[in-house]
Structure 1
Amino acid sequence: MEILERNIKVALVGDARVGKTNWCNKGIAGEDTDEYIPTINYQSRERGFCSTIGLCTFDFWDISGSHSTPQDREKWIEDSYAAIIMVDLANQESINNTILWYREIISSQQYSDNPKHLPVIVFAYKAYEDDAKYKIKPTEISWPEEMGSTPFHYNEYRDTTNWETDQTHYSAMLLADLSTTRPLGWILEQLTGQPEIGLIAHYSPGPDNAYWDAHSPGTLEKWKREMDEACKLPMPEESDVEL
């Protein structure tokens, strides 16, 4: 499938401190850090997935919400295949600014050499133990008509960090995996036109990765040929020795 044969660039935008870089660090790079370091301009990170329709590699562009200009952001977004607008449900301003980020995404295609309709999804990554921190309940959010049917995914899992209690603890990586597959699965569905695509594993892209080698199209094709050839061989006759 053509879309899977290239890196799928996804622009990640949103206000400062809504969790964009944290999501990339934990969900994409597997780095467990909660230190806040503002992104300057943008950072690019790749992560590969094994999906129900084949291998695919996402190239995430974590674009700064405060240390960049609208002109630069439009340039960085214009050749993307999809975009994620990240919000913080405990930050009403980030929710209000969603329409502004949406307009920047749409505007980026006006001057593109190859304009395209970008699938856009709104995503709330941060999860809080105390729902009272939410300024608005996820189920009560509605976007302006201008945004059409832009879907909204949010992470409802709690990241409980007190190991001395009986409360369920969701590790950083588990939280990241649960928060990664939902929005990316939807993006793949929009780009390929195939419904209910599942992301079943992830790998580090590159020829030196064992998972990539074992599941690459070339290796799978080789295994299929060997299986077909084996099926054509006659069954061996039983002998007294074998019995």
Structure 2
Amino acid sequence: MSSTTTISHDKLARLVGTPACPVLIDVRIDEDYTLDPRLIPGSRRRSHKDIETWMPELSGKRAIIICQQGKKLSEGTAALLRYNGIPAETLDGGYEAWVAASLPLVPVSRLPALDQKGRTVWVTRARPKIDRIACPWLIRRFVDPAAVFLFVTPAEVEAVADRFNGAAFDIENVFWSHRGELCTFDVMIEEFGLASEPLSRLATIVRGADTARPDLAPEAPGLLAASLGLSRMFADDLEQLEAGMTLYDAFYRWCRDATDETHNWPNRKPGA
């Protein structure tokens, strides 16, 4: 009989990248983490020893706890959370089951340094259109749900990133930027180890819209139109980002689940 307090890796994989994904907490011991310093997409590192410190962050949320093999460490942590009124499950088989299933893993070496609240900080040009909304969506959904995004004057991006210990992106001559025909969104998918059929399909659409190549995907002009519309609806870049999250959530779910679905107004003759 399956447990109501565990989740399989395939079910979790369907949640990762969506707004419905629970908070993912990696409680592997340091020795196991050091041997393989990668994270299940969207998960954050926490110590079971400090549960009283980080437990308040989970108020009103659902959590999935991940340890090396899905045994005592995650079982105990999840049970303590449930005791304190927080719905919590464990990943069946733990981190090892996820690895064995060849599911994506984010190399921690690619993450910027964390701020005092354990968040990554990213800096880019103000007045975003496509890449500068797509990349934050990717980071929030697959890398760091709590990531901070600073939109600043173009000439100050690198200086602000340096002063505030962040990562500059989508400007020239930085690591997180266009490479050849690839846009920054493509680069992030590759560097963060997130390659998948749905994300690759979405990346083609983003690239087509961002680099004036509508021939790359029939959906690219639609993304361009929606993106330009959002940029005119919102004067505040952060408000635009929040609206853009829903836009990219929809495009991602289409890429993952609905590419074969069509829709047409019924053309029926009277009495048919």
> If the TM-score is normalised by the length of the shorter chain, which range does it land in?
0.3 to 0.5
| Structure 1 length-normalised TM | 0.33
Q: Say which structure, 1 or 2, has more relative contact order (CA 8 Å, 6+ apart).
A: 1
- Which structure has greater strand proportion? 1
Q: Which has the higher helix share?
A: 2
